[in-house]
Chains A and B, each alone.
Chain A
Amino acid sequence: MIEGIQLEFFLVLGTLVFFIGIYGFLTRKNLITMLMSAELILNAVNINFVAFNKYLYPENLEGQFFALFIIAIAATEVAVAVSIIISLYRKIKSIDVEKVNELKY
């Protein structure tokens, strides 16, 4: 328990970060920025996991584990995503998401 700080603060923070991430993901045209927004979403989830774990089930560690998992996966995701973006850039000389519409009907 951290004195004076309630669970709700964390949740509000998580929600804010999550929606900032969603907003960024939906509005930014730059693939790198979109990737960063996706990271924000993931981190928002991390905050929630850790906070819930700490406040509701302090005797268990699953929340922490999940947060670690997500961090690890986010790292690999960044690696993969960035390599995709680089190869895309090589191909179309742009990292604008609207230009990448090869995968349509």
Chain B
Amino acid sequence: MENFGYIVIVPFILLISFILIGLAGGRFKPSLSGIAGTFSVFVTTVISYITAFSYFSGAGLVNGVYQKIIPYNTEWLRFTDKLVINMGILLDPISVMMLVVISTVSLMVHIYSLGYMKGDSGYSRYFSFLSLFTFSMIGLVISTNIFETYIFWELVGVSSYLLIGHYYQKPSAVAASKKAFVVTRFADLGFLIGILILSNITGTFDYSILTDPNGPAIAQGSTIAFMGLSVMTWALILVFMGCAGKSAMFPLHIWLPDAMEGPTPVSALIHAATMVVAGVYLVARLFPLYALSAPAALHFIGYVGAFTSLFAAIIACTQTDIKRVLAFSTISQIGLMMLALGVSDYGGEKGLGYMSSMFHLFNHAMFKALLFLCAGSVIHAVHSNEMNGMGGLRKFMPVTHITFLVACLAIAGIPPFSGFFSKDEILVAAFEKDFVLFIVSMIIAGLTAFYMFRLYFSIFWNKNNEYKDSPHESPSSMAVPLMFLAFASLITGFIPFSKLVTADGAGFETHIHWGIAVPAVVIALAGILTAMALYKKESGLPQRITASLGSLYRLIYKKFYIDEIYLFITKKIIFNGISAPVAWFDRKVVDNTMNGIAAVTNFISVKIKSFQSGQLQQYAYVMVSGMIIIILFALYLWNK
């Protein structure tokens, strides 16, 4: 077996790059920080590719099963002999795959940002935070234990917070970053409690013990029931709460659309390709545990994923801000991945859902990053996010146009683009397990094609808008990543994923199921054609349709008022309902009790101070009478 120790360089170079750019960035020419950041990610990418190549080409393979390799593991914090937080590197098919995804997208985003962020006052800061994010994200996927994951989980959360709030003088960006952090933090509370329960049942944080199908953790399971479900199930549902927060599952999805306030390359990297799939990744990481000892939790995940996916796809059809459409599309696609995990079983071909989920994650990362970067390049050209202000851009921006089209075809699932292959596997997996979920995913496929092409046609076709300064194609530093990712979206579908990334490490054969693929493609085409009919030429038809839908349309356009509900909960209940009364209680009740004690003391002393009248004879009276009383008392005692 090959020694993969060299991967240790990856986190270190990124961390050093973060610290160096962060500390020294302001003192040098900004472009230097950009180059330094890009260079460190480039090294990361090279190492990741070498790792992936040697791992999948046989170094990780023993008897046809991909092994978990831990090339490096060091103790970071010890609670007890068994409960130890290690900092280490775990290589298995999904972590190697994620290494490739993160480094590729991150490198593309870095190169793209060199052009996109040019002239920004926070240029160095931006690249330093990008390094921090890439560091944390890579740390997250190569974690050897669940607590290490939690640590990096928080770190990606904070780097996401910092990057969303990049334009920190803009109040909406500040609010969005705060919202993202608090919502995910709330989800992380569930995650943390889940970890605590899990570690308590199994006595370990270590993935290699937790997810060993023959290991003690799964065999032992949990017999104690709490409200009808085993404690293990509860723990895993709580862990999934963390995943739902990061991966923007309903009802914790509200932060993701707002997170689009950040710079667009950040949205591409964090809120489309990498961080938001961390939840899917974590469920996949703990998959044996879910599948073998808490299938109920897995069902739950499948349904949450399906509901979120449908829900987000419906909202995406009504949004007009192009980044928000993409955000809801991301939520929807992640929901689909969760759905795929939910319909999967462990082992062999029964793990098709698992494999398709990972496959879709991989493809999605490429084409969704591409979509965001294209959107960024459009925004760069027309200085607006609003779809209504665009149109006819295909003439001005040919590269963006073609790459965007490729990405749309990929996400819509048209062969031979990558999305087709993974979506097909998901549909097959759903079909085999749960017919309801299968129907839902078919509907989602149609909706996805519709809203993506609605976006495509509104931006690049439709009316020919008059632009103040005519839009132009982006500089090559921005165009090259687009082309690279478009190329990736074209070919990644042909990777034999089922041989490489499976739940139990053993590969299996898959083939296209035409019986399902054909209807799916037909539905997607129907969606595209509808979009084409409505949006290719400027027409009043869309307005008439929305008008006829009336309040239903408004409900969807307002995202089912979920944000308002949250606002109500935070503002009215937490802020005015709990915190303000607590502060009042503290000032008025607790504090006044203490002041009251002081006041009583004071009151008594005021009352008795007139004893001290200054009248000498009064004192003498008291003294004499006291003396007499004492004497009488003494006499009484004497005579007794």
Note whether A and B contact each other (Cβ less than 8 A).
yes
Given contacts A22-B624, A26-B624, contact A100 B616 (CB under 8 A): yes
> Judging by beta carbons under 8 Å apart, are B617 and A25 in contact?
yes
- From residue B330, how far is it (CB to closest CB) to chain A in Å? 77
Indicate if the CB atoms of B620 and A25 lie closer than 8 Å: yes
Residue in A22, A25, A34, A98 whose CB lies within 8 Å of B615 = A98
A101 & B613 in contact (Cβ 8 Å cutoff) = yes
List 20 interface pairs A-B (beta carbons < 8 Å), by A numbering: A22-B624, A25-B620, A26-B620, A26-B621, A26-B624, A27-B617, A34-B616, A97-B616, A97-B617, A98-B615, A98-B617, A100-B614, A101-B613, A101-B615, A102-B614, A103-B614, A104-B612, A104-B613, A104-B615, A105-B609
* Chain A residue at minimum C-beta to C-beta distance from B613: A104
CA distance A31 to B620 in the complex (A): 13
In the bound complex, how far is the Cα of B614 from the Cα of A26, in angstroms?
Answer: 14
Encode contact with A along B602-626: 1 for CB under 8 Å, 0 otherwise: 0000000110111111001100100
Flag A12-49 by CB within 8 Å of B: 1 or 0 each.
00000000001001110000001000000000000000
Number of A-B contacts (CB under 8 A): 29
Taking CB atoms, residues of chain B closer than 8 Å to A34 are 616-617
Within 8 A of B (CB), among A82-105: 97-98, 100-105
Given contact pairs A26-B617, A101-B614, A104-B614, enumerate 13 new A-B contacts (beta carbons under 8 Å): A25-B617, A26-B621, A34-B617, A97-B616, A98-B617, A100-B614, A102-B614, A104-B612, A104-B613, A104-B615, A105-B609, A105-B610, A105-B612
Which B residues have a C-beta under 8 Å from some C-beta of A?
A: 609-610, 612-617, 620-621, 624
Residues of A within 8 A of B616 (CB): 34, 97, 100
A4 CB to nearest chain B CB (Å): 30
Number of chain A residues whose Cβ lies closer than 8 Å to a Cβ of chain B? 13
A51 to chain B, nearest CB (A): 20
Q: A100: which B residues are within 8 A, CB to CB?
A: 614, 616
B605 to chain A: closest CB distance in Å?
A: 9
Residues of B contacting A102 in the complex (Cβ-Cβ under 8 angstroms): 614
Q: State the CA gap A100–B616 with chains docked (Å).
A: 8
A100 and B612 alpha carbons, distance in the complex (Å)? 13
Distance in angstroms from B427 CB to nearest chain A CB is 92
Closest Cβ of chain A to B306, distance in Å, is 81
Q: A residues within 8 A CB of B621?
A: 26
Which 6 residue pairs of A and B lie closest in terms of their CB atoms, listed nearest first? A101-B614, A104-B614, A105-B609, A105-B612, A103-B614, A97-B616
Smallest CB–CB gap between B632 and chain A, Å? Answer: 15
Instruction: List A56-89 residues whose CB lies under 8 Å from chain B.
Output: none
B505 CB to closest chain A CB (Å) equals 89
CB distance from B560 to the nearest CB of A (A): 72
Measured in the bound complex, the distance between the Cα atoms of B610 and A93 in whole Å is 26
Contacts of A22 in B (CB 8 A): 624
Give B168 Cβ to nearest chain A Cβ, in Å.
61
Q: How far is the CA of A25 from the CA of B619 in the complex (A)?
A: 11
A contact residues around B615 at 8 Å (CB)? 97-98, 101, 104
What's the minimum C-beta distance from A87 to chain B, rounded to whole angstroms? 16
Interface centre among B609, B612, B616, B624 (most CB of A within 10 A): B616
Within 8 Å CB of A103, what residues of B?
614
Q: What residues of chain B lie closer than 8 Å to A105, measured between beta carbons?
A: 609-610, 612
List A contacts of B624 (CB < 8 A): 22, 26
Contacts of B610 in A (CB 8 A): 105
B352, chain A: closest CB distance, angstroms: 92
Closest partner residue, chain B, to A103 (CB atom):
B614
Residue of A at shortest CB range from B605?
A105
Q: Select from chain B the residue with minimum beta-carbon distance to A102.
A: B614
A79 CB to closest chain B CB (Å) equals 19
Q: Name B609's closest neighbour in chain A (CB-CB).
A: A105
State the CA gap A103–B610 with chains docked (Å).
12
Measured CA separation A102–B615 after assembly (Å):
9
For B612, give the chain A residue with the smallest CB separation: A105
Q: What B residues does A104 contact at CB under 8 A? A: 612-615
A40 CB to nearest chain B CB (Å)? 14
Q: Which residue of B lies closest to A31 (CB)?
A: B616
Set of chain A residues within 8 Å of B612, measured between Cβ atoms:
104-105
Give the CA-CA distance A16 to B610 in the complex, in Å.
33
Please give, as numbers and ranges, the residues of chain A lying within 8 Å of B614 by CB-CB distance: 100-104
> Could you tell me the distance between the alpha carbons of A100 and B609 in the complex, rounded to whole angstroms?
18
Point out the residues of chain B lying under 8 angstroms from A101, CB to CB. Answer: 613-615
